[in-house]
Amino acid sequence: MERAVFFSSQAGRTIEAPRHVKSRFGIGDVVRHRMFDFRGVIFDVDPVFANSEEWYQAIPEDIRPSREQPFYHLLAENNDSSYVAYVSQQNLLTDASSGPIDHPQIAQLFEQFDGKRYRMRRALTH
C-alpha cells in the first residue's frame, strides 16, 4: 500500500498514512459520538490518528480505537458546554436530524446549516 507522510503539529511529529483513505464523513457533516453524549460538526479530517501519544494512551484500553482509521476534529457540544473534540471514525454516527450545532465558533468556519450539513465559508476553501 502506497503511503504518504505529513507533519502533525498536534502530535508534534511526522505521521505516515495510506495515500488513499476512505472516510465516512466530510467537513461540514453533523455527527454524534457513539458512546458519549455529545455531537458536533466536522471541521478537519486526519487520515489516521495524528494526535499526541499521551492523548492516545489516556483513552482506557478497553475502548481505545485503532490508530489506522480517519480521525475527525469537531466543534462539539453537550448539554453543559462547547469544545473541540478529536474522535475516531468508528465512534461517530450521522446526526443531522437533530438540527444545527450551537457552538460559538461555527460562524467563523461555516455558513448556515442547510438542514443536512454545514458548508465551509468560501474564503476558507482552496
Q: Which DSSP helix (H) or strand (E) runs through 30?
A: strand 30-33
As for how many domains the chain has, the answer is: 1
The reported pLDDT for the residue numbered 3 is 74
Residue whose C-alpha is closest to residue 73's, from 10, 4, 115: 10
The reported pLDDT for the residue numbered 18 is 66
> CA 11, CA 14: separation in Å to the nearest integer?
8
Q: What's the pTM? A: 0.85
- Has residue 80 been placed in a domain? yes
CATH number at residue 101: 2.30.30.390
Domain range for 75 is 24-124
- Has residue 79 been placed in a domain? yes
For 31, the 3-state DSSP assignment is strand
Mean pLDDT of residues grouped by 10 in the chain (126 residues)? 71 69 91 96 93 94 94 96 97 93 95 92 73
The reported pLDDT for the residue numbered 51 is 92
